[in-house]
């Protein structure tokens, strides 16, 4: 089976890297030499993707980790061989940039390079049936792993985009400490599900069979395995996580969380022009502003906007509230403090 490769990196002019990015790359190089010297090998960590019957968007990350022997008998070690890197190791393991990753899906096989943070986010032209599919991912010296992919059928005209922090789960920490919490407290049992939200999402999924449920967050890719287990344990519908890679870019010190969300919303509108989205978030960050802006730009792509109202204590921890009365979007807009009341509000406008 032939392998198609992208245009060599040297054939394209790369933008000048920010000084912070150069420093980060140097640190990665030092850590990579140290890890490889200790016998660590590339490991592909798969993430859930999505697509249509004609293409899929595949996600994964390549990290260096201690290899698992074929004769390993420990249940934990066997699980790591099957599932890749989990828990705190996903943060302390060294990312491998510019390494080729082979993707096999639907009879197609392509090879793409990981970015400087070890992340692969690529679109593959392929014909698949609607529903759950699998892509097989591997890189040189790694065990193959499977990434689940949700394929949206051509007749589906409804989907859900949901925020994560303070929308589907409550961390109850001041906003500046949420990143540290997500980094060092990786047990999904340490997070609390937002009351009634899982039932709301399950009802929406039943009401609109085949609809995609996409979790859009400013969290780092490192927390994807933990968030996936949290969503599953608390009976949220399975779906892809659209996360980001923290740290400097080629032109700035840190990535913009707002830009990450806006860019992915616009991308979803382009990829699924026949789908109208229910946008779910909270009033403690920028969800209202971002959703309202998207609704003004694409009013025909928004079915409704549902905002979870934070409690006074949660609002203080989140750094205050936004002003819902100023959204200005000409689409149905509901708000409530919990999933059960949001369900009632959505039923009032015919969404349930």
Angstrom distances, CA of residue 263 to CA of 63, 157, 267, 271: 26, 21, 6, 12
Do 113 and 165 fall within a single domain?
Answer: no
Q: Which of 151, 186, 212 is the last residue of a domain?
A: 151
Given this model, what pLDDT does residue 139 score? Answer: 94
Q: Around Cβ 176, how many Cβ atoms within 10 Å?
A: 9
Do 104 and 202 fall within a single domain?
Answer: no
- Which structural domain, as residue segments, surrounds residue 41? 14-151
Q: Tell me if 61 sits within 8 A of 37, measured CB to CB.
A: no
Angstrom distances, CA of residue 19 to CA of 10, 25, 28, 34, 291: 21, 10, 14, 23, 33
Q: Is 163 a domain residue?
A: yes
Q: Around Cβ 22, how many Cβ atoms within 10 Å?
A: 13
Q: Which of 105, 124, 151 is the last residue of a domain?
A: 151
Starting at the edge strand found earlier in the chain, the sheet holding 213-220 runs 241-244, 213-220, 158-162, 276-282, 302-308, 333-336
Do 231 and 137 fall within a single domain?
Answer: no
Distance CA 146, CA 262 (A): 29
H/E element, 276: strand 276-282
Q: Domain of 175: which CATH number?
A: 3.40.50.1000
Q: In tens digits, what is the pLDDT along the chain, a chain of 352 residues?
A: 545 544 444 344 445 555 555 655 656 565 656 655 666 688 899 999 999 999 999 999 998 877 765 555 555 554 544 444 544 455 566 888 889 999 999 999 999 999 988 999 999 999 999 999 999 999 987 889 999 999 999 999 999 999 998 899 886 555 555 555 554 554 555 568 999 999 999 999 999 999 999 999 988 888 888 889 889 999 999 999 999 875 544 444 445 568 899 999 999 999 999 999 999 999 876 899 999 999 999 999 999 999 999 865 554 444 444 554 556 568 999 999 999 999 999 999 998 8
Given this model, what pLDDT does residue 197 score? Answer: 97
H/E element, 233: helix 224-233
Given this model, what pLDDT does residue 12 score? Answer: 41
Q: What is the pLDDT of residues 120-169, one digit of tens each?
A: 999 999 999 999 999 999 998 788 999 999 999 999 999 999 999 889 98
Do 184 and 69 fall within a single domain?
Answer: no
């Amino acid at each position: 089976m032939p392998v198609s490769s992208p245009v060599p990196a040297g054939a394209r002019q790369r933008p000048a890297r920010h000084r912070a990015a150069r420093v980060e790359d140097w640190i990665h190089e030092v850590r990579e030499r140290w890890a490889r010297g200790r016998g660590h090998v590339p490991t592909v960590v798969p993430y859930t993707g999505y697509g249509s019957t004609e293409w899929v968007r595949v996600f994964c990350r390549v990290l260096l980790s201690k290899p698992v022997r074929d004769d390993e008998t420990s249940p934990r070690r066997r699980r790591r061989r099957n599932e890749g890197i989990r828990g705190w190791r996903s943060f302390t393991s060294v990312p491998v940039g510019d390494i080729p990753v082979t993707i096999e899906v639907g009879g197609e096989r392509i090879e793409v390079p990981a970015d400087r943070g070890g992340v692969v986010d690529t679109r593959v032209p392929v014909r698949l049936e609607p529903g759950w599919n699998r892509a097989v991912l591997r890189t040189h010296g790694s065990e193959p792993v499977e990434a689940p992919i949700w394929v949206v059928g051509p007749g589906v005209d409804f989907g859900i985009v949901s925020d994560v922090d303070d929308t589907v789960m409550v961390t109850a920490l001041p906003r500046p400490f949420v990143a540290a919490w997500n980094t060092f407290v990786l047990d999904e049992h340490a997070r609390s599900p937002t009351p009634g939200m899982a039932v709301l999402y399950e009802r929406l999924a039943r009401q609109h069979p085949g609809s995609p449920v996409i979790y859009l967050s400013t969290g780092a890719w490192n927390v994807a395995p933990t968030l996936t287990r949290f969503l599953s344990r608390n009976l949220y519908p399975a779906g892809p996580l659209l996360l980001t890679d923290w740290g400097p870019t080629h032109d700035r010190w840190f990535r913009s969380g707002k830009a990450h969300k806006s860019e992915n919303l616009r991308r979803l509108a382009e990829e699924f022009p026949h789908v109208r989205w229910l946008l779910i978030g909270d009033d403690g960050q920028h969800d209202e502003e971002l959703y309202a802006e998207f609704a003004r730009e694409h009013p025909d792509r928004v079915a409704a906007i549902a905002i979870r109202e934070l409690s006074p204590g949660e609002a203080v921890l989140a750094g205050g509230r936004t002003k819902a009365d100023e959204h200005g979007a000409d689409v149905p807009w509901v708000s409530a403090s919990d999933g059960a009341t949001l369900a009632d509000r959505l039923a009032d406008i015919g969404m349930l």
